[in-house]
């Protein structure tokens, strides 16, 4: 994940490896507004990331964190002007951001104990309907 500032758009790179750590797939996506990607859901055909309204990417915030003047946790707060949405990326594409879908949701922040969740489509869809 590379946040976007000024003339640079955010960049999300997704790597998949086989059990022997051979690179099977690499995708690079430029998704405006996706400046933070920590937790995600891995489905058989999709990656699902959450664009949270609780993390704001800016040059100044990043500088404060890199200089040790602040921490990422200190900078997390609700930014009402930022969207809350799920970014759904097909796993089996050329990585050119074709087919990327966005699903808006009420403001929330998704976090998991392990940083990613692997589940089947039926479970994911039932949870999405619940949201």
Predicted local distance difference test score (pLDDT) of residue 69: 93
CA–CA dist 96, 116 (Å, integer)? 23
Predicted local distance difference test score (pLDDT) of residue 97: 66
Chain segment 52-63, per-residue pLDDT in tens: 877 777 778 888
The residue that leads in pLDDT, 2 or 101, is: 101
pTM over cut 0.75? no
Give the mean model confidence (pLDDT) for residues 44-56.
84
Predicted local distance difference test score (pLDDT) of residue 67: 92
CA–CA dist 59, 51 (Å, integer)? 18
Give the mean model confidence (pLDDT) for residues 63-90.
86
CB contact set of 41 (below 8 Å; sequence gap of 6+): 47, 48, 116, 117, 118, 119, 124
Q: Cα(first)–Cα(last) distance of the chain, in Å? A: 26
The residue that leads in pLDDT, 45 or 123, is: 45
CB 117 within 8 A of CB 39: yes
Give the mean model confidence (pLDDT) for residues 119-128.
45
């Amino acid at each position: 994940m590379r946040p976007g500032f000024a003339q640079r758009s955010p960049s999300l790179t997704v790597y998949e490896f086989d059990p022997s750590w051979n690179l099977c797939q690499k995708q690079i996506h430029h998704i405006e507004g996706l400046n933070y990607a920590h937790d995600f859901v891995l489905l058989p055909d999709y990656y699902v990331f959450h664009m949270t309204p609780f993390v704001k990417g800016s040059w100044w915030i990043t500088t404060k964190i890199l200089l040790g003047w602040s921490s990422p946790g200190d900078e997390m707060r609700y930014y009402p002007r930022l969207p809350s949405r799920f970014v759904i990326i097909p796993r089996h594409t050329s990585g050119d951001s074709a087919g990327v879908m966005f699903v808006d949701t009420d403001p929330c922040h998704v976090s998991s104990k392990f940083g990613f969740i692997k589940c089947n489509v039926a479970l994911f869809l039932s949870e999405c309907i619940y949201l």
